[in-house]
């Protein structure tokens, strides 16, 4: 144990010293970020803390390589070591998730979704058009035929979860490129329960007849029945795409299995690697063999050159996620979210869907007369880092919002457990119940300074008891 402590401290301290020789302000900011993260009680559902091994795998000369193409089929020479890490990452991903194919190049979740959309269009619209024209590729089409194919590509529909029900901007919404590529329609949640109503999704799918049915979310605190989504997709001839960016860690850790595991049911699954999966910032696409050749053209179809250093870190993170300890971690994330929800409910908080069965909790703060923006700022004053989020049928829109989204992946990595999360629920309500809007502002607020100070002190004790990166000791660095 002692040697591990020394090794990791030495690695990061030396790295900072080397950086400081060139631009000390960058080294100082990196060091300060560690201090700040150590001191903050982070409830942001989309963030986590990657292991030192994952972090170190990113900081090296793999960053210097261009590697367009796929392992063994590169447009650049001397990619043998990139091939090794990309193959390893893809193999770990396939084994971990039971996927037929894995593509580990996407630089982020949004990029993974773009790869998925274009792959679905290529497989389901462009390829049949090429076959009908009797040509092998788009370059062989006449200008008139190409114009027809382009019109067909631009004439497709997507059906995804509405933003205020917890869907993501990339699921076909107008401010995002997906909303310009597809004619978008959405399904919401049941107004009485806040839950996905599969009969209503089916009805909507029958009306819309989308090319792509998207399941997945950023702010829905429950499991999704992907077997039901598969049936709906099959009935209307849609491709089922699941964006598991948020809950990939729960799939990897076998908390979401059977009907709730997207991989056996979906044609294409996209994810980030940095949220509950606890890897480097990045994205990934899993798919069936049908989509594999199209997905593998992600770069240069829509992606810039692969980031070999990040693929190396993905391989490390995926190897970690295959260990039994990761399944324990994923179970604990969910147990902690339940404890947090129970703590909040005991104090009378209003939760969207009345609770959680994944890693996140959505609190409707309109019950305290606050916007999400006011609640987020007041909680931050008290040392609780959260983020505002819309709630279903939100009267305050997506900027001010009426909700606060909470997640347990980060605190669980630090080692906090149920009793502490229940107490965090108490602290959250203490602050919310002692915050008032300032006049009729949606932004300004007044928080009881005494309460904020007490909560801040207790939050500091809670995180102080669970040091972040205990194996990294940078004291003594100049």
**Interface with ligand PLP in residues 189-228 (CB under 6 A):** 216-218
Distance (Å, whole) CA 18 – CA 12: 10
Cβ within 8 Å of residue 437, ≥6 positions away:
369, 370, 371, 374, 444, 445
- Residue 192 CB-density burial (10 A; 0-12 exposed, 13-18 middle, 19+ buried): exposed
Number of CB atoms found within 10 A of residue 193's CB = 12
Binding-site member from 13, 50, 88, 110 for ligand PLP (CB under 6 A): 110
- Binding track, positions 117-156, relative to ligand PLP; x by CB under 6 A: ----------------------------------------
Catalytic, out of 275, 278, 338, 456? 275
Helix locations, 167-218, DSSP H: 177-181, 198-208
CA 388 to centroid of chain Cα atoms: 16
Query: Which residue among 68, 83, 190, 357 is the active-site one?
Result: 68
Question: Which residue out of 111, 126, 164, 243 is catalytically annotated?
Answer: 243
Asked whether the beta carbons of 317 and 54 are under 8 A apart, the reply is yes
Q: Scanning residues 289 to 318, which ones bind ligand PLP (CB under 6 A)? A: none
Angle among Cα 202, 204, 205 to the nearest 5 degrees reads 65
Q: Out of 84, 108, 176, 331, which residue is the one contacting ligand PLP (CB under 6 A)?
A: 108
Long-range CB contacts (within 8 A, 24+) of 124-127: 124/211, 124/239, 125/149, 125/152, 125/153, 125/156, 125/211, 126/153
Q: How far apart are CA 137 and CA 60, in angstroms?
A: 39
Nearer to ligand PLP, 243 or 267 (CB): 243
Q: Output 109 or 343, the one with its CB closest to ligand PLP.
A: 109
The C-alpha atoms of residue 124 and residue 130 are separated, in whole angstroms, by: 11
User: Tokens at residue 27, please?
Assistant: 């080294």
281 is catalytic: yes
Which region, judged by CB under 6 A, interacts with ligand PLP, from 18-26, 107-115, 312-320, 387-395? 107-115
Binding of ligand PLP by 276 (CB under 6 A): no
* Binding status of residue 390 toward ligand PLP by CB under 6 A: no
Q: Residue 357 or residue 423: which is nearer to ligand PLP going by CB?
A: 357
In this complex, which beta carbon is closest to ligand PLP, that of residue 84 or of residue 108? 108
Is residue 235 flagged as an active site residue? no
Give the residue with the Cβ less far from ligand PLP, 9 or 272. Answer: 272
Using CB under 6 A as the binding rule, whether residue 170 contacts ligand PLP is answered as yes
Summarize as ranges the residues that interact with ligand PLP (CB under 6 A).
46, 108-110, 113, 168, 170, 216-218, 243, 245-246, 272, 283
The set of catalytic residues is 66, 68, 243, 272, 275, 281
């Amino acid at each position: 144990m002692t040697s591990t402590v020394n090794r990791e401290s030495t690695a990061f301290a030396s790295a900072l010293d080397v950086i400081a020789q060139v631009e000390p302000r960058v080294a100082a900011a990196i060091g300060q970020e560690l201090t700040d993260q150590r001191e903050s009680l982070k409830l942001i559902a989309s963030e986590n803390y990657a292991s030192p091994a994952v972090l170190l795998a990113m900081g090296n000369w793999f960053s210097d390589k261009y590697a367009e193409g796929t392992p063994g089929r590169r447009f650049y020479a001397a990619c043998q070591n990139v091939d090794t890490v990309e193959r390893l990452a893809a193999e770990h991903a396939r084994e971990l998730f039971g996927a037929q194919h894995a593509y580990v190049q996407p630089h982020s979740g949004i990029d993974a979704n773009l790869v998925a959309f274009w792959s679905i269009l290529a497989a389901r619209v462009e390829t049949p058009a090429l076959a009908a024209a009797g040509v092998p590729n788009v370059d062989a089409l006449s200008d008139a035929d190409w114009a027809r194919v382009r019109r067909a590509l631009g004439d497709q529909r997507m059906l995804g979860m509405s933003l205020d029900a917890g869907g993501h901007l990339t699921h076909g919404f107008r401010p995002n490129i997906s909303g310009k590529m597809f004619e978008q329609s959405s399904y919401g949640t049941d107004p009485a329960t806040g839950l996905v109503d599969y009969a209503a999704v089916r009805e909507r799918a029958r009306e819309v007849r989308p090319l792509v049915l998207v399941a997945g979310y950023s702010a829905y605190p429950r499991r999704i029945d992907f077997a039901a989504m598969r049936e709906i997709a099959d009935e209307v001839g849609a491709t089922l795409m699941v964006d598991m960016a948020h809950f990939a860690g729960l799939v990897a850790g076998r908390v979401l299995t059977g009907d709730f595991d997207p991989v056996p049911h979906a044609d294409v699954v996209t994810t980030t690697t940095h949220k509950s999966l606890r890897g480097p910032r990045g994205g990934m696409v899993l798919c069936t063999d049908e989509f594999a050749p199209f997905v593998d053209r992600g770069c240069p179809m829509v992606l810039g050159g692969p980031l070999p250093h990040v693929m190396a870190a993905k391989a490390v993170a995926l190897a970690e996620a295959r260990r039994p300890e990761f399944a324990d971690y994923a179970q604990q994330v969910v147990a902690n979210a339940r404890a947090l929800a129970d703590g909040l409910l005991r104090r009378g908080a209003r939760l969207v869907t009345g609770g959680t069965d994944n890693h996140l909790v959505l609190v409707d703060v309109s019950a305290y007369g606050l916007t999400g923006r006011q609640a987020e700022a007041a909680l931050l004053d008290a040392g609780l880092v959260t983020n505002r989020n819309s709630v279903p049928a939100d009267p305050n829109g997506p900027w001010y919002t009426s909700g606060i989204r909470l997640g347990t992946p980060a605190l669980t990595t630090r080692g906090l457990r149920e009793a502490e999360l229940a107490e965090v629920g108490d602290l959250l309500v203490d602050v919310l119940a002692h915050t008032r809007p300032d006049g009729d502002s949606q932004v300004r607020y007044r928080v009881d300074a005494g309460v904020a100070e007490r909560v801040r002190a207790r939050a500091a004790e809670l995180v102080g008891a669970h040091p972040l990166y205990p194996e990294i000791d940078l004291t003594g660095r100049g």
